Amino acid sequence: MGIPLRVLIVEDSENDAALIVRELQRGGYDPIFERVDTPVAMVVALNKQTWDIICADYTMPHFNGMDALARVRERELDVPFIFVSGTMGEETAVEAMKAGAQDYVMKNNLKRLLYSVERQLHTASVRRERKRAEETVQYLAYHDVLTDLPNRAVFYDRLHQCILTAYREKKPLTLLLMDLNRFKEVNDTFGHQSGDLLLRQIGPRVRRCLRESDTVARMGGDEFAILLPNTHVEGASLTARKILKALEAPFVLEEVTIDIGVSIGIALYPDHGEEGDALVQRADMALYETKQAGGGYAVFASEHEQNSPRRLMLTGKLRRAIEYGELSMHYQPLVDLKTNRVIGVEALSRWLHPELGAIPPDQFVPLAEQTGLIQPFTQWVLKTVCRQHEEWRDLGLALPISVNLSQKNLHETQLPDQVSELIQTGSMPADKLEFEITESMIMSNPMRATQILTRLNAMGIPLSIDDFGTGYSSLGHLKKLPVQKIKIDKSFIVDRIEDKDDNVIVQAIINMSHSLGLEVVAEGVEDQLTKDRLATLGCDSAQGYHICHPLPAAEMTSWLTESPSGLH
């Protein structure tokens, strides 16, 4: 039994068609074929089924091979088209190739047909696989991989568009921010897999409370955003009550049934802000007040901003922490998956307050951005990293160190000059300082971000895209950016690298990144099986708890010199 091959033969001679079929059979194929020799018959054949390959004579009494090719291309069919003719000259063949034919074979040399068919089938397979990969990655650019909801970057784009529409049409717009009150307890008690199952069930319940024109998006973690165009405060309050009611019913997570609490903060355009960031900030303040009250919903009020004691307190303490060196830096290594050697470390800022305890970066970094402290904070980060590199260099550990930039950093035109000044001190070469940025940061102001990134890269500073797959760009868009590396977001990796769909996604990202000359790092590697699987998929390097947790500088130094995968 040969390899099945669906062949459409555009040929007026039954004998010549039989010779084509016989040659394919000699090559190990089992052709399922149909011969046509008129335009009508060809249309019928194209409508009947899909074809793996089309072989066409160039000249026929009732049909023309070029006309047959035109009909295939008009339908945008991705099927190889090969002319098998006894009358084609070189000029005619060139004309056919320009029109979209893949190859031509002379009838007096049918032995070449097998080579042509095999080559074109392989090329078509690669082309279709690449198209599927591009479609998958493009889909990921717009959707949260876990919940299948629009992601954070798409939300901000729609928010911007809704604000423009509301301004133009003089209509209201409402933003709701929502999070789950006891989500951490679910993760801690039942595990991250149960937490993921819970998050997947949120979107469908919320969606049933909304209109077709409304948007619900996952912002990250257990936080969701809802956009209600042309909606006043009364309508927003009614929607919030519907959502609270919809989420009251218990959630079934495998064999466990749980209840969760929900908090919602509401902000309105233009009453509470005329720009997207302002609306999000005000909705977040209302959300904080709601959580303090134990759940429910609240509409932003001016006293939330003026009298937010925690916000005011944290701002003052953060300013002091930056000025008096109360922040610290932890480091997490990246390991080459082929050699198992450490090829760099990522710098991660930490704030352990003596009274408040550990304050996570996702709280104090946005606070620094919102209160004008991001510049001194960034300067502290860069100076700390430079000093650490100098210390490690003296110990023979001249590792590249990557630093996460914030969205505000990419709006500061003076940042490249400040970085250049630090590099010129000689404590850290440009190629040892790497900057990481997220897709959504770039898309908030692509022109400004690209200008700043281009200037930084021109100094010799490597750039990487962090959390790839959760933002708004695509691999095609990365061609326009001066980046050398992407880091696949841990949501694709943690607990799910063996999942068939996630496996395909990761493989597609790796293959397409390599085709663009980009290195690929996997984040969130938590076991040896995942690490081995990533190596098999062709991933270049990885980081995660299985390799090493983020460690203070002194402990990182010990790990680098003592660990089997360190530098020693």
Nearest alpha-carbon partner for 25 in 48, 7, 43 = 7
The answer to whether the Cα torsion of 307, 311, 315, 317 is positive or negative is positive
Q: How far is CA 9 from CA 29, 42, 123, in A?
A: 15, 9, 20
> Which residue range forms the structural domain that includes residue 218?
152-307
> Which tens digit of pLDDT belongs to each residue from 328-356?
999 999 999 999 999 999 999 999 988 88
- Residue 110 reports pLDDT greater than 80: yes
Residue 319 lies in a domain: no
Do 8 and 132 lie in one domain? The reply is yes
Do 381 and 469 lie in one domain? The reply is yes
Q: How far is CA 105 from CA 54, 84, 91, 117, 413, in A?
A: 12, 5, 14, 10, 60
Do 23 and 126 lie in one domain? The reply is yes
Do 79 and 159 lie in one domain? The reply is no
CATH number at residue 299: 3.30.70.270
Long-range contacts, stretch 454-461, CB < 8 angstroms, 24+ apart? 454/482, 455/416, 456/415, 456/416, 456/419, 457/482, 457/483, 458/482, 459/416, 459/419, 459/420, 459/423, 459/430, 460/429, 460/430, 460/431, 461/419, 461/430, 461/431, 461/433, 461/434, 461/435
Q: Is 123 helix (H, G, I), strand (E, B) or coil?
A: helix
The DSSP bridge pattern shows strands 296-299 and 541-542 to be unpaired
**pTM of the shown model:** 0.58
- Left, alpha or beta for 439 (phi > 0: left; psi -120 to 50: alpha)? alpha
Mean pLDDT score across all residues of the chain: 87
The answer to whether the Cα torsion of 184, 186, 188, 189 is positive or negative is positive
Do 537 and 478 lie in one domain? The reply is yes
For the chain, percent of residues with pLDDT exceeding 70: 93
> Which tens digit of pLDDT belongs to each residue from 508-552?
888 888 888 899 999 989 889 999 999 999 999 999 999 999 999
CATH number at residue 425: 3.20.20.450
- Left, alpha or beta for 469 (phi > 0: left; psi -120 to 50: alpha)? left
> Which tens digit of pLDDT belongs to each residue from 401-434?
999 998 888 878 888 988 998 888 777 899 999 9
What pLDDT is stored for residue 558 in this prediction? 94
Residues in the chain: 568
Residue 552 lies in a domain: no
> Which tens digit of pLDDT belongs to each residue from 7-62?
999 999 999 999 999 999 998 999 999 999 999 999 999 999 999 999 999 988 88
Do 104 and 201 lie in one domain? The reply is no
Do 301 and 166 lie in one domain? The reply is yes
Residue 26 lies in a domain: yes
Q: For the chain, what is the total number of helices (H) and then of strands (E)?
A: 21, 22
CB–CB of 20/9 below 8 Å? yes
Q: Is 462 helix (H, G, I), strand (E, B) or coil?
A: coil
Structure tokens belonging to residue 327: 């922040």
What pLDDT is stored for residue 477 in this prediction? 63
Residue 269: its H or E element: strand 262-269
Cα distance between residue 241 and residue 232, in whole Å = 14
In the sheet with 103-106, reading across from the earlier edge strand, the strands are 29-36, 3-10, 53-56, 81-85, 103-106
Residue 351 lies in a domain: no
Do 416 and 524 lie in one domain? The reply is yes
What pLDDT is stored for residue 76 in this prediction? 87
> Which tens digit of pLDDT belongs to each residue from 438-470?
876 776 667 788 889 999 999 999 999 888 766
For the chain, percent of residues with pLDDT exceeding 90: 49
Do 103 and 178 lie in one domain? The reply is no
Do 171 and 129 lie in one domain? The reply is no
Residue 498 lies in a domain: yes
Do 272 and 185 lie in one domain? The reply is yes
Do 438 and 377 lie in one domain? The reply is yes
- Out of 142, 176, 205, pick the residue that ends a domain: 142
Mean local confidence (pLDDT), 233-258: 89
Q: How far is CA 229 from CA 143, 154, 505, in A?
A: 21, 16, 34
Q: What's the Rg (C-alpha) of the chain?
A: 30
Cα distance between residue 265 and residue 50, in whole Å = 53
What pLDDT is stored for residue 568 in this prediction? 39
Write out the E strands in 123-259: 173-180, 215-220, 223-229, 251-253, 256-258
**DSSP for 498-522, written as a single string:** TSHHHHHHHHHHHHHHHHTT-EEEE
Mean local confidence (pLDDT), 239-246: 94
Residue 324 lies in a domain: no
The 10 Å CB-count burial string (b at 16+, else e) for 455-490 is bbbeeebbbbbbbbbbbbbbbebbeebebebbbbbb
> Which tens digit of pLDDT belongs to each residue from 156-215?
889 999 999 999 999 999 999 999 988 878 877 887 788 888 999 999 999 999 999 999
Please count the structural domains in the chain. 3
